[in-house]
Amino acid sequence: MPVLGWLAGRTVVEFIAGYDHWVAFAMLAIVGGRMLWGAFRPEHNQRKEVDITKGLLLITLSIATSIDALAVGLSFAFLSVNIALASPTIGVVAFVVTIIGFKLGRRAGKLIGKRAEAIGGIILLAIGLRILLSHIL
């Protein structure tokens, strides 16, 4: 999916080059903002724990992850990233982090779950702001 996004981005890059930094900022701000919103919404509005490794929820999460990867590839095209290096790197890192996440997730989630989500959202917003400011200034 990152490669498909990169290919799509390479075809439209000359049309969007003047405001690509705004697009990257908006995409990161949306994801980071949603993470912050999720970290600070009241607990009573959240569902009880669900098994995400089965059924329709797993398919839905797989599709959402694929769309995220497509968006990353699109951003890579705007930033002129070497997709031949980036795509396998994404795959290997995602695999390793997923395994580690499954091993440590339950224990760490109980201790720092909401704080980690908030920190991740802030980091994404900061990256988006950095991209935006590097093109404006």
Alpha-carbon gap, residue 47 to 115, rounded angstroms = 18
**CA dist., res. 77 & res. 68, Å (int):** 14
pLDDT score recorded for residue 43:
65
* Cβ–Cβ under 8 Å, residues 2 and 69: yes
Any residues with CB less than 8 A from the CB of 132 and at least 6 apart, and which? 21, 22, 24, 25
* Total of domains in the chain: 1
> Could you list the residue range(s) of the whole structural domain that residue 59 is in?
2-136
- 48 has a pLDDT exceeding 60: no
- When pLDDT is cut at 50, 70 and 90, the band that residue 59 belongs to is confident
